[in-house]
Amino acid sequence: MLPVIKFALLPSVLILASASSFWALASSNKTDLDALIALKAGLSRHSYALDSWNTTADFCQWHGVICSLNHKQRVSALNLSSAGLRGYVAPSLGNLTYLRSLDLSYNLFHGEVPWTISQLSQMSYLDLSNNLLQGEIPWTIGQLRQLSHLYLSNNSIEGGIMYGLRNCTRLVSIKLGLNKLHQEIPDWLGGLSRIEVMSLGKNKFTGIIPPSLGNLSSLRILNINDNQLSGPIPESLGRISKLEKLGLQVNHLSGTIPRTVFNMSSLAHIGLQMNELSGTLPSGLGNGLPKIDHLILALNHFTGRVPSSLANATTIQSLDLSVNKLTGSVPPEIGALCPNFLILKGNQLKSSTAQDWGFITSLTNCTSVKGVILRHNRFSGVLPNSIANLSRQLEFFDISFNEIYGKIPVGIGNFPYLIKLGLSRNRFTGAIPDSIGNLKMLQWLTLDNNRISGTMPSSLGNLTQLEHLSVANSVLQGYLPANLGNLQRIVDANFSNNALSGPLPTEIFSLSSLSYILDLSRNHFSSYLPSQVGGLTKLTYLYIHENNLSGMLPDTPSNCESLMELRLDGNYFNGIIPLSISRMRGLVLLNLTKNALTGAIPREIGLMNGLKELYLAHNNLSAQIPETLESMTSLYQLDISFNLLDGQVPARGVFANLTGFLFDGNDKLCGGISELHLPSCPTKPVVHRQRITHVVQNAVISSASIILLLCLILALVVFSLKGKLRIPSVRTAPLAPSFMNDMYPRVSYSDLAQATDGFTANNTVGTGRYGCVYKGRMLLKESVITVAVKVFDPEQSGSSRSFVAECKVLSKIRHRNLIGIRTCCSDLNQNDFKAIVFDFMPHGDLDKWLHHDTYAPNSVKVLTLMQRLSIAVDIAAALDYLHNNCQPAMVHCDLKPSNILLGEGMVAHVGDFGLTKIVTDPEGEQLINSKSSVVGTIGYVAPEYGEGGQISPSGDVYSFGIVLLEMFTAKTPTEAMFTGGFTLLEYAKMAYPAQLMEIIDPLLLSVENTQGDINSIMYFVTRLALECSRKRPTERLSIRDVVAEMNKIMACHAAGVTRQSGSG
């Protein structure tokens, strides 16, 4: 009977078993599903990548989700890299207990790494790099015993390397770089015997390099660069037989390099630059490095000679020994290395004989040499003609700041890809070779401070890519070639202190790209100053002093709206000082000394509020000193000596400065402050005072009566005509803002709809506080152009007010760095449709370049150092125009990266004037004098606005400082890390001045080759940003000073400065 009972119960058992399996599967299914849904719920925004994440589909089919083959409905891998996600990493991910691989890299996740990740016991691959994560590495991470790859780089993670990681003995690769990790590097890391890649660079680790790292026998890559490590390089590192890359650069390491390091046959890359290492380089340096391709020992304190044994390192591609204290000649064997780059600048290397130049001759056998940088040494003798036989791939050749003499070899023109040719500050003689005109790709040519003679070859006009040209301080003669007008990309040009003659070619003044300096001073140029000088609208410094120019000064320099310094002294100009010169509101220095100018000093000069230095001495100026000059608060140097001036000397402003006011040689001046010891001015006699008073009173009464009568008659006329002129209530024509005139063509709603394909989403290029911006193509003034159409949302409170405000502002401003308006459109009732049509900016806004769009898959866009500096200069120039050079003066009130648009050539244009405030009316009267409510965007708005303070230009300067920090750190002031009083400003102050490389945008480092240059520029940029963002408005710089500083920083970078003492 028992067997019968067993078989009878079998169906029931099978049913129960099936039910149990079903509920187990359903339970696991729901656990993983809930974890994924919780992850999505934690996102503040999501991209198309998560469109498939809905419950109508099996979650195993969702984008990025991979389920296990052995365990149905269990997630084994989750890959959402570069999906544009923003939010926090949900703790519920710890419930995906079968997860083996998690990749959330290149997103915008913030908050802390959840400790629940330690529940993922099968995890072997964890990548949370390139996000905005904070906090510490969870101490429980050591429970991931299967973990082989841990990537947390490029976040803001703090603390130290958690002791629990010691238990992750299967680790093969660990990348924690670009964080804020500090403390010492733990000694126990040397016990993770399987480690092949260890990257801890760009943190704040202190102490020494643990000698135990020498036990990592499987290690291939060791990066501990850009920290604060000190002490010697451990000899034990030489035991790592498989090491391919050793990156210890940018620390405070000292002592000598262990000889064992140079005997590691597997090493391909050694980076030890920017430390405090010393001693001589081993004589056998190149004998034990058969695979080395990059040997970078720059910016240390090495002494002695360059070892000839380096010639045995035949695989080397880049040899950089720059900025040390190396002496002697360069071994000729070095040339046999055939490196791509040979960089020996900033040492004490020398050559005096042809034999000493043998390394150059040896290099001529190499076909892949791209850069030879020997500047700032003691090379002398004649440059060998064999230089003409260097590789045609040569891109950089710089031997500036040496003592080389003789003629420049004609063969210097044999390099079609040459970008930079630096020959300045030597003792070259003879003429500039005509063959230089063959260097069609050349961007940088410096021949200054030599003894070059002859004429300027017309072939220089062939260098259409040239951006920087200097031939100053030589003995060049003859005319400037007219075809220099072909240099349409030139940024700065210096021809000063030569013997050039003839008239100034008008073509050179058509070079609108000139934005830094044009120096024609100390030559023998004659004739007049061409009126085309007004075409230099972007130029900052114009020097034409000490020549033989004559004639009257043209009015056109007033068009040079960016000009800060104008020197025309030491010529023979005559006639009056043009009144138009007062329109140059950006001028800081004006020097017209030693000419033959006549007439009075224009009183309009008193309107040049930014002028600091005014030199008018040794002319024939007459009449009185304008009283307007004493109200120029910025003026601290005024020289009017040796003229024919007479009358009263004012007593305020610069006239009260005994050292700043020079007036000798004007015998008819009187008055002024007593310390000037001038005679008193004669007083006018008072005749019939009472009679005059009565006459004045009668005249005033009579005038007032006549005016009152005229007003009464006018009122009666208007009243009688009022009914006849009344406009019907039904309008038949579209209404436009009152500023619209013939300059702004009328467009309709249908025109804009057609231009933007019906305002479709595909044409949306941005959204803002009050509406959307669409890209379109439309016919305007007989040309079809691409435009941006900003459509205001009528449902958004304040949009109508913003529309009117923008129209008013945009109708009054014109500047290359402000967004240009084409026209606008408003409906009949001014309620339902309002739009402004702008010039289209093809490169979008600055915010998208600095932040999340940078991480878009397959579309990495990174701004270079020069681009960032240029954009900052553009922004400052726009604000300077608004504050000082437009009428009426204005305060933007909402400066931030999303309001800075990038046009052709990456030129920056400030836009969005919905909050802009007019400061003065056209007569200069103050309009803003009341306390303000908060205007602007949180994080960028000046602190005084939040306290009800007065709106002022200094508020814009504060915002500029914040934007400047954001441009170079890629950190927004509203990021989650900035809480509890810790702000972007405090973040910068914490790093300034010694740790700036720790806060710099890591993507900037990825596109720049010279970290020393970046470090020095970062020092000046941060200092300026902090000066702009001081808490008290009165302590901030003026925007004019900001413009000057930014131009200096840009010039510093352009001049190739690579290191500043005390920086970083």
Long-range contacts of 827-833 (CB under 8 A, 24+ apart): 827/734, 827/735, 827/749, 828/731, 828/734, 828/735, 830/735, 830/800, 831/794, 831/800, 832/794, 833/749, 833/791, 833/794
Helix (H, G, I), strand (E, B) or coil at 1039: helix
Angle between helix 984-991 and helix 953-969 axes, rounded to 10 deg = 60
> How do strand 783-792 and strand 771-780 relate by DSSP bridges?
antiparallel
For the chain, how many residues are written?
1064
Check: CB of residue 714 under 8 Å from CB of residue 685: no
Distance CA 201, CA 179 (A): 8
Distance CA 900, CA 586 (A): 22
Q: The tokens 């050179």 sit on which residue?
A: 508
Both tokens of 27, joined, read 């339970």
Distance of CA 132 to the CA centre of its chain: 22
Q: Give the residue numbers annotated as catalytic, written as ranges.
A: 894
Both tokens of 879, joined, read 């604000």
Give the C-alpha distances (Å, rounded to integers) separating 226 from 223, 253, 969.
Answer: 9, 11, 16
Distance of CA 687 to the CA centre of its chain: 67
790 is in an annotated binding site: yes
Check: CB of residue 263 under 8 Å from CB of residue 288: yes
Nearest to 504 by CA among 457, 554, 547, 464: 547
Distance CA 970, CA 861 (A): 13
Distance CA 318, CA 340 (A): 6
Distance CA 861, CA 843 (A): 11
Distance CA 375, CA 322 (A): 9
Q: Position 305: which residue type?
A: R
Q: Which residues of 309-333 are buried (b: 16+ CB within 10 A; e: fewer)?
A: bbbbbeebbbbbbbbbebeebbbbb
Nearest to 93 by CA among 37, 165, 148: 37
Angle between helix 865-880 and helix 1039-1054 axes, rounded to 10 deg = 160
> How do strand 499-503 and strand 101-103 relate by DSSP bridges?
unpaired
> How do strand 301-304 and strand 276-280 relate by DSSP bridges?
parallel
Q: The tokens 């009022």 sit on which residue?
A: 722
Distance CA 45, CA 313 (A): 53
Which residues are part of a known binding site?
790
Which residues are part of a known binding site for ATP?
790
